[in-house]
Structure 1
């Protein structure tokens, strides 16, 4: 990560100088100084602090992702997807609903609902909560294996 850098202006401009950028934790300090040490900097406004994240967002807006310095700016590592069930982000289909409903209705009444939901979740690659919620959507009572919530017409 960049900790400190100095940007020089072109010498043939009206006010040659340097812009110093230093980052300390979450704060970025910008300091302007003239190239000629005998020429005093304008009073006030020569040094100011900004949140480093704001500066990062401004630089990202100015540069596209192909700019060579963009990767040096972000100190945060890329996020990894949260671990979860194999089919946790796969949408439910009518076929999957039928499979779930058949597995629920064809089970023994003596099987505890918690155990059966765990078995079905493992077989279908889903979480227990998604199976329980989907059972209610397909018309099954998620508390009692083999029972429907309402009679189908």
Structure 2
């Protein structure tokens, strides 16, 4: 994000254009002539289907540090209510990641035994995250699910091939 610097009595003015997820955005910021401690933020956007977004905020400089996180929270919540998830990189919408095929399924005794055997057979010199990802992929589970199941089996999820001490 570009930064605008100014002395206490100078005006702020800048514009940023960017494209995210097929939408073109233009953000213009300018301090008011008669109240330089207040900025006007104009947002214009055009989507790939021609849909338009526009809005203007007039903000006191003292509110700026709080406004960004507040707007991110509010707009993120609204986006989620429409089923859109927000990526941290410039707020770009990202598609939902498909869940592993066995996500949410119960752990049978056979699956627990398979996980137990796989973890104890894992290379102890291998990074735990690498081993966890490989087993999760093979078993159609999430890494968190594998980690939790290992702990329930009294195996150390941070040390491949090891039991909890």
TM range, smaller chain: 0.3 to 0.5
TM-score, with length taken from structure 2: 0.41
Higher relative contact order (CA 8 A, sep 6+): 1
